Amino acid sequence: MPRLPPPLCVSYAIPIRLRTIVDSSVSGINFTRGSLANACGSICTVTNSTVIGIMGTFRLHKIIAWPAGGGAVTVSWNVTGGAELALCKDKVMVNSLPTGITEDVGMVFSPPKKSVVGDWQVATINPTDRLLSMTATSGSIVDFLFVATLANQFAGQSSTVAAGILGGFYYLPPDGPTTHHFAPEGVPTTF
């Protein structure tokens, strides 16, 4: 029995699996540190104007995609950014299907091993850094698997939106409120 209280980690990590549907065929859509952070959950702080993320840090474990019939999904991890992002192998996976044929298993994309892209990201530090880009056919389903920590030492990322109710909770599109082609499914969202 300890005589004094032991150290306690008060940064609460939460697993998140965000399902999105691609609303129109897209090519080379960028996903930034800030847009991915706010996909983990945000609260509207100024009506029809501003949301702030509730997660201070996040780690993207993988992306699972099911291309629409006759379509394709590709993911390209950023290897051309600043020095901290250029520590991984250039690798792109492609999955093209004949028209009308669909797959019954998803394509799995994981950040390159030992890359900064696959490590913990602080939502507010260089939030516009591109971590990955994606090309997908309209109707494709794409799941993003994260582990994120509730804001504590690090604040959540602020983002501008066109619509939002003060105090409302939203999962923003992981490609951000500007492009918003990856629409979150089954959760409150806005852009």
Each residue's pLDDT, cut to its tens digit, for the chain (191 residues) gives 778 998 999 999 999 999 999 999 999 999 999 999 999 999 999 999 999 999 999 999 999 999 988 888 999 988 665 645 555 556 666 666 656 666 678 889 999 888 888 899 999 999 999 999 999 999 999 999 999 999 999 999 999 999 999 999 999 999 999 999 999 999 999 99
68 part of a folded domain:
yes
CA dihedral angle for residue 101, residue 143, residue 141, residue 132, rounded to 10 degrees: -90
- Domain membership of residue 96 as a residue range: 15-184
Give Cα 179 distance to the centre of its chain.
13
What is the rounded distance in angstroms from the CA atom of residue 156 to the CA atom of residue 118? 19
120 part of a folded domain:
yes
137 part of a folded domain:
yes
Tally the domains of the chain: 1
- Rounded to two decimals, the pTM is 0.88
117 part of a folded domain:
yes
What is the rounded distance in angstroms from the CA atom of residue 176 to the CA atom of residue 26? 14
CB half-sphere exposure, 19, CA atoms < 13 A = 8
**95 with 103: CB under 8 angstroms?**
yes
10 part of a folded domain:
no
1 part of a folded domain:
no
Q: CATH number for the domain including 67?
A: 2.60.120
The pair of structure tokens assigned to 124 is 């507010």
Give Cα 162 distance to the centre of its chain.
20
